[in-house]
Amino acid sequence: MSDIQEKKDAILKKLSNAQQKKLSLQEQIDYLKKEQEQILEHAKQKQNVLKLKQQKLLSEAKAQERKDETRRKILYGAWINYKQKNNQLSQEDLDDFEQFLNTGNKTEENRQKDKSLFKGIL
């Protein structure tokens, strides 16, 4: 049995037998249509609430992902900095890093700024 039929049956059960007999067929149809519209509106409202919850969860997940990525970069940078201070980085590692700084979609000005941050190392 469909949801609409179940709702219809439930609504008709609410009406007493006397009320059902008093209502004309057209009145019953009108009453059921009104009830159907209310049910549909309620379902749309629920759907909108669920969509908002979904959007909130997605944005929270993306925000956490960005935070995790930033934290990974900080930790990785700290590890590299530790290795550099303890002379555990090879010249090849430093050359690779310098090459990394020279690549990408950066402007020459940004490349120079990035390199200047590592003057004492490179």
**pTM for the structure as a whole:** 0.56
Q: Tens-digit pLDDT profile for the chain (122 aa)?
A: 577 778 777 777 776 665 666 667 777 788 889 999 999 999 999 999 999 999 999 999 999 999 999 999 999 989 988 988 898 888 888 888 888 888 876 788 888 888 888 777 77
Say what the pLDDT of residue 47 is: 97
Query: Do 50 and 42 meet the contact criterion of CB atoms below 8 Å apart?
Result: no
Q: What is the CA radius of gyration of the chain?
A: 34
Amino acid 50: pLDDT? 98
Q: Domain extents for the chain?
A: 3-86, 90-122
Q: Tell me how crowded residue 3 is: count the other CB atoms within 10 A of its CB.
A: 9
Task: Write the burial class of residue 2 (CB in 10 Å: 0-12 exposed, 13-18 middle, 19+ buried).
Answer: exposed
| The pLDDT value given to residue 28 | 77
